[in-house]
């Protein structure tokens, strides 16, 4: 066989070992329990969605305050319904499970709640 036509030997790569911490396991269990509870209770999910819609309709100056009140309100609603999970864990993992709710149920509201587009003038799409 010609040297040019010989197949090249692919070098082996050593991949890092996959490790998962106890904190990550707890995060997944908590998030899963909350999302399962919300999936089984559509009325509660509707109340949470209404809270997100209400928070997204505030004036730009009040967005930070509305976001804080939204977190308190939604966390309280979910913590009241959860029996196996402490309210502290519900609050600690709020960014994870709330973002899943937003992305799955309300993608058009996502930018209104979290993003501040700035002034409209001078951008050319008034």
pLDDT tens digits, 95-125: 888 877 777 766 555 444 444 444 444 445 4
CB of 38 within 8 A of CB of 44?
yes
The Cα 74–Cα 49 span in angstroms is 9
**Mean pLDDT calculated for residue range 15-39:** 89
**What is the per-residue pLDDT for 126?**
45
Share of the chain above pLDDT 70, in %: 77
**What is the per-residue pLDDT for 116?**
46
**What is the per-residue pLDDT for 96?**
83
Whether the model pTM is above 0.85: no
Of 103, 84, 85, 104, give the one whose Cα is nearest residue 93.
85
Q: Which two tokens stand for residue 73?
A: 């309100």
Of 61, 80, 70, give the one whose Cα is nearest residue 101.
70
């Amino acid at each position: 066989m010609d040297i040019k036509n010989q197949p090249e030997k692919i070098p082996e790569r050593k991949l890092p070992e996959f490790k998962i911490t106890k904190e990550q396991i707890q995060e997944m269990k908590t998030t899963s329990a909350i999302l399962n509870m919300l999936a089984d209770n559509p009325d509660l999910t509707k109340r949470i969605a209404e809270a997100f819609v209400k928070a997204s309709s505030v004036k730009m100056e009040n967005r930070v305050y509305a976001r804080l009140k939204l977190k308190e309100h939604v966390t309280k609603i979910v913590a009241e319904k959860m029996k196996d999970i402490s309210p502290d864990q519900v609050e600690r993992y709020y960014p994870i499970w709330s973002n899943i709710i937003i992305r799955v149920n309300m993608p058009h509201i996502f930018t209104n709640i979290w993003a501040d587009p700035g002034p409209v003038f001078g951008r050319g799409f008034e």
